[in-house]
Amino acid sequence: MASGTFATVINCMDGRTQLPLINWIKERYGVDYVDTITEPGPDRILSAGHPEDIVGSIKGRLLISVQKHASEQVVLVAHGDCAGNPVTKDEHLGMLRKGMELLRRWDLPVDIVGVWVDEINWEVEVIAEINRPKH
């Protein structure tokens, strides 16, 4: 088991979103570290459930974070001016919610938070939250 506390972010590869999210997560959850899983347009990938190999890779990396680092929070990100998923904010938010549902179906002992990051100030806005399953 790693020393220190962890949360996990499933984020776009866009470098503009990285530090704002890491700082926000560390402050909101009081964790020492943020495991980062990146893909271009992760809200699109998880909402569609494919490509299956990428979804499987995301799940595998998330399992490492949960099982080896005891991460209890997972933040799924959608953001403005996304080159990997160039759709409207409303479309992003719909995909974000669907992606969160896929994460929920994996039945991991984590809280899932869907966030929007605006492309002007790179500020984080909570869109939806799903509390961890009670076992």
122-131 pLDDT tens trace: 999 999 999 9
Please answer whether residues 40 and 83 qualify as being in contact, where contact means their C-beta atoms are separated by less than 8 angstroms: yes
- pLDDT confidence tier of residue 134, bands split at 50, 70 and 90: confident
Distance CA 16, CA 3 (A): 28
For residues 128 and 71, give the distance between their C-alpha atoms in angstroms, rounded to a whole number.
Answer: 19
What are the pLDDT digits (tens) for 31-67?
999 999 999 999 999 999 999 999 999 999 999 999 9
Q: Are 103 and 76 in contact (CB under 8 A)?
A: yes
Could you tell me the fold of the domain covering 6-130?
Beta-carbonic Anhydrase; Chain A (3.40.1050)
Provide mean pLDDT across the span 3-26: 96
pTM of the model: 0.95
pLDDT at residue 135, rounded to an integer: 58
pLDDT of amino acid 100: 98
**Beta partners for residue 8, in sequence order:** 35, 74
Write the CA distances from 32 to 6, 61, 68, integer angstroms: 6, 19, 15
Q: Assess contact for 48 and 96: CB atoms under 8 A.
A: no
Contact 76, 100 (CB under 8 A): yes
